[in-house]
Amino acid sequence: MIQIQAFSHKNKDIKHFVLTNNNGVCAKITNYGAILTSLTLPLKSGDREIVLGFDSLGDYKSESYLKAYPYFGAIIGRYANRINQGKVRIEGKDIQLPTNHGQHHLHGGFSGFDKRVWDAEIADESRLKLSLLSYDGDEDFPGNMKITVIYELNDENELVIYYSATCDQISPINLTSHTYFNFTGGKENILNHELQIDSDQILENNSELIPTGNYLKVNNTVYDFRVQKKINQDIEAVENYDNCFVLKTEGKTLEKVAEVYEKTSNIRMEISTDFPGLQLYTGKFIDVDGNDKFGPFSGLALETQGYPDAPNQENFSHGLIHPDEVYKHQTRYKLHF
């Protein structure tokens, strides 16, 4: 079942869509930024909020939120993650994208998909379809790009996000959901959550989190999550995880790639995807002024996506879309409680 609510008193085009399955799981999505604002589970102790988000558009546009801007729950594009110095070379032509993160391009620029009003359509009782047209020159990206994101909440307690896009010119593309999870409902931070990632390698980064093009094996390192462990086990050694894990999804339609568990709530979530990478961000730099609930380590982001800076790396694929192809991926979050 999908209900429609107002999300802004000033802009009637911005709505809140409430998806509820037959088990009482509820996901709330707004067509502003295609943001997943809420995901609640019906526990015996009461409904439990497990993602970071707000109840009104004003909170997403507030100065205190945008100051450190953690992109709570938003769909990111045209290019999630970083592009080195915002520079891309396509068919012999140099393209300069906005450098909104120091000297680098991050998450689509100053006004990415996370700040757009998407067209919304209820596809059926369990699926919400969101569409966006990004015109040629949008944030200096080439080509007219049509993007569709479908949120589905089914009775298997899976929240599924389907991504698709086409473009009439060669353009960089990397879409993701920037949702942060916290299974304690905000009562505690995420450091006691247990995480397992089916990955033997991460991308090597320089000091500014730009990939070098090399792959690093995780065995005997703090990045080894092949066996489930608490996030705080090695957090002092790394200070904060913000790394792209190389997944074993190449050539596969869908693969389970990660699992998160929190003992006190007994909530477990399996993540399956056909994206090639998983960006793990443990949220040390979340800081919403005046809101104690949203501080350092208050949420865990597990962003299924392509590789950062892929258009500039010969070793990486999936960084560009061509006029004759359809960009198509999906991610499934299966919840056990």
pLDDT at 313: 94
What length is written for the chain? 337
**How many structural domains comprise the chain?**
1
* Rg over CA atoms, the chain: 19
Q: State pLDDT tens for residues 168-194.
A: 999 999 999 999 999 999 999 999 999
| Distance in angstroms (rounded) separating the CA atoms of residues 146 and 300 | 30
pLDDT at 41: 98
Domain at 289, CATH number: 2.70.98.10
The pLDDT of residue 265 is above 80 = yes
Any idea which residues carry the catalytic annotation? Answer: 178, 303
Look-up of token digits 């295609």: 34
Q: How confident is the model at residue 322 (pLDDT cuts 50, 70, 90)?
A: very high
The pLDDT of residue 292 is above 80 = no
CB 15 within 8 A of CB 120: yes
CB 158 within 8 A of CB 140: no
Report DSSP state, residue 169.
S
Look-up of token digits 């792959």: 215
pLDDT at 253: 84
pLDDT at 113: 98
pLDDT at 95: 95
Question: Poorest-confidence range of 4-13, 16-25, 77-86, 216-225?
Answer: 4-13
Burial class (CB in 10 A: 0-12, 13-18, 19+), 122: middle
Average pLDDT for 72-83: 98
* Domain encompassing residue 194: 2-336
Q: How confident is the model at residue 8 (pLDDT cuts 50, 70, 90)?
A: confident
